[in-house]
Structure 1
Amino acid sequence: MQGSTAGLGPVTVAYERQGTGEPLILLHGVGHHRQAWDAIVPLLAGQYETITIDLPGFGDSPDLEPAVPRDLQTAAAWLGAVLSELGAERPHVVGHSLGGLIALHLGQAGLARSVTALAPAGFWTDTERRRTYAMLTAARHSVRLLPDTAMVRLAHTATARTALAGTLYGRPDSCPPETLIADLRALRDAIAFGATLRAGRAPNLFTGDIPEVPVTIAWGARDRILPPRQAARARAMIPGARLVHLPDCGHIPMNDAPDLVARVILEAIPSAVADE
């Protein structure tokens, strides 16, 4: 799907639709892909039309053209154009990490009926950001040095899964090998990884409130990439937000506890409808 907005060239994204009902957009984090939601979509598609999207430069989506800025306001603009092309006007939006931060901006721009943000990026101190970047960069560097055949072999042992993904998951030993392999390949092949981290060095990635859109912020209690103490900062910025703690979940709670995450999303959406 290609979307364009005034002053920007076209932006092309890969996407997948499932289910019927009101549109529900699912946005992944940095170094990830739309398959991040594979365990969640079947739990939602019976009530909503789920649309999972590969952000530019991740998964199957080509990177942004050099002339397209990588700031969050621009991301909300071109994503709004993509949603319009998809016929998903003002959908419910769920985002994880980078996708959670983008989802909050969509809500602030009036482009979302409700927002559910799982460990949204951007509520860090500068020291925390540097630590997060160091962990993500180290993980990407490690997987890029690892031959694919070795990665596949290691992913099928619980001990190696813990070593490969202990920083990402709260329960790495229980992560299905195929899921881990797909996630590591997505991290390895993410062509927009470096440019996205550079853009994330900008100050004040989110400011202001989202007073007219129901917002839920959920955070894994065992998140090592974005520590759960950052949830309080997000709640202070958006005082009307509903804050949910995800016990035993790491940075990617969709893999650690898909049933719990799906329940959080479904509970957030009815409250959005009731508040309209």
Structure 2
Amino acid sequence: MSATVTFSVDSAQGPKDVSVVYRRGGSGDPVLLLHGIGHHHQAWDPVFGILAAERDVIAVDLPGFGASPALPDGFAYDLANFVPALNALCKALDIERPHVVGNSLGGLLALEMGREKLVRSVTALSPAGFWTRAEQRYAFGTLLAMHRGAKLLPLPAIERLSRSAVGRAALTSAIYARPGRRSPEAVVAETLALREATGFHATLAAGRGLRWIDDVDSVPVTIGWGTRDRLLLRRQGVRAKRAIPGARLIALRGCGHVPMNDDPALVSRVVLDASS
């Protein structure tokens, strides 16, 4: 079951309320799960139960994505606003310096939270920001095409496509190496989440020109990269290791850009090891 929490975040116009939808379960050390652009917290469903058997797991819909409302007017969808909002979320939920795990955009946010010393450890799965300009144009173009397709397809067509492995591949092969493993219901839900993401275009706009070049040496960092990632190519993981020399770089064999669905056991093991 999901819940909603509302908290205050400072802005140039004074304090503003931000609301976030989240799912929480389990007990133990807290682990905060952050999804990628256009996705929602259900991206973590394949690993949620495994992690919750040993950790206090909190999977969130980032502001402007999933069921979470957009950021207040005047807030840019950039690191300078996302990270303070996530820190305020942790305080509202009485979470003190969680382990943070992020995928894609969520991985970038996790690294920034680590750089700001807000977390105990960082696990970044195919994090954004380690691209060349050409690689960024390709990734953004692919995301825009997926978003446009989700907008154009009527719901009956999405439902019809999701019923077959071929149809699920047509909808999600850019992010999954094994799209046939995703359930029809999950594919419909995430296609609608992409279509209705109020923060999608603003987040892409904020990310143009962004490139991560800084070290994160204040907390342990694990970087996992799918060997079959078609969105952010695996060579970007080598750049991430160069930027963050102390990080542990793990090849997620057979996994695509969103590896939690492709190999839940592998991803769970990486997360549990990193948060131990």
* TM-score normalised according to structure 1 size: 0.94
CA drift of 1:182 comes to 1.6
Matches within 5 A, 1:47-126: 47-126=54-133
Instruction: Quote the Cα distance in structure 1 between the aligned partners of 2:210 and 2:157.
Output: 39
| Residues 3 and 82, structure 1, Cα contact 8 Å, conserved in 2 | yes
Match of 2:169 in 1: 162
Aligned to 1:14: 21
Give runs of ≥4 in structure 1 deviating > 6 Å: none
1:166 Cα offset (Å) = 1.5
Number of aligned positions between the proteins: 269
Distance 1:193 1:141 in 2: 11
> Paired residue for 2:188?
181
1:3–1:79 Cα contact (<8 Å) kept: no
Equivalent residue of 1:14, what SS?
strand
1:262 aligns with 2:264: no
1:219-248 deviation per Cα after TM superposition (whole angstroms, max 9, x unaligned): 111111111110011111110000010111
Map Cα deviations across residues 198-257 of structure 1 (whole Å, 9 max, x no partner).
0001333x3321112010000111111111110011111110000010111111111111
In the TM superposition, what is the alpha-carbon distance from 1:73 to its structure 2 partner?
A: 2.7
Alignment partners' CA distance in 2, 1:3 and 1:107: 22
Match of 2:7 among 3, 21, 25: 3
Tell me how far apart the structure 2 counterparts of residues 176 and 207 of structure 1 sit (CA, whole Å).
Answer: 37
- In the alignment, what sits opposite 2:53? 46
CA RMSD in angstroms, aligned pairs only: 1.2
Is residue 201 of structure 2 the alignment partner of residue 194 of structure 1?
Answer: yes
Q: Please tell me whether the aligned partners of residues 9 and 68 of structure 1 are also in contact (alpha carbons under 8 angstroms).
A: no
Query: Could you list the per-position Cα deviations for residues 68-108 of structure 1 after superposition, in whole angstroms to 9, with x for gaps in the alignment?
Result: 23221332112111111111110000000000000000011
Is the 8 Å Cα contact of residues 9 and 18 (structure 2) preserved in structure 1? no
Q: Which runs of 5+ in 2 are unaligned?
A: none
Decide whether aligned partners of structure 1 residues 85 and 246 sit closer, same or farther in structure 2, where only a CA change above 3 A counts: same
Contact 2:122 2:220 (C-alpha < 8 Å) held by counterparts: yes
Rounded Cα–Cα distance in structure 2 between residues aligned with 1:51 and 1:174 = 24
Matched, 1:131 2:115: no
Matched, 1:143 2:147: no
Q: State how far apart, in whole Å, the 1-side matches of 2:149 and 2:219 are.
A: 40
Contact in 2 for aligned 1:73/1:105 (Cα 8 Å): no
Cα deviation 1:16-40 (Å, max 9, x = unaligned):
1111111110000000001111111
Matched, 1:172 2:202: no
Q: Which amino acid aligns with 1:236?
A: R
- Matched-pair identity in %: 49
Task: State whether structure 2 residue 240 is matched by structure 1 residue 234.
Answer: yes
TM-superposition CA deviations, 1:100-126 (whole Å, max 9, x none) = 000000011010100100000011111
2:268 and 2:91 mapped to 1: Cα distance? 25
Shift of 1:11: 1.8
Question: Is 105-114 or 194-203 further displaced after alignment?
Answer: 194-203
Task: Give the AA of the match of 2:241.
Answer: R
Q: In 2, are the aligned partners of 1:93 and 1:115 still within 8 Å (CA)?
A: yes
Q: Secondary structure at the match of 2:16?
A: coil
Q: Secondary structure at the match of 2:275?
A: helix
Equivalents in 1 of 2:115, 2:45: separation in Å? 27
Between 1:65-74 and 1:260-269, the stretch displaced more is 65-74
> Does residue 251 of the first structure (1) align with residue 257 of the second (2)?
yes
The answer to whether the 8 A contact 1:100-1:120 is kept is yes
Tell me if structure 2 keeps the 8 A contact 1:220–1:250. Answer: yes
Secondary structure (helix, strand or coil) at the match of 1:99 reads helix
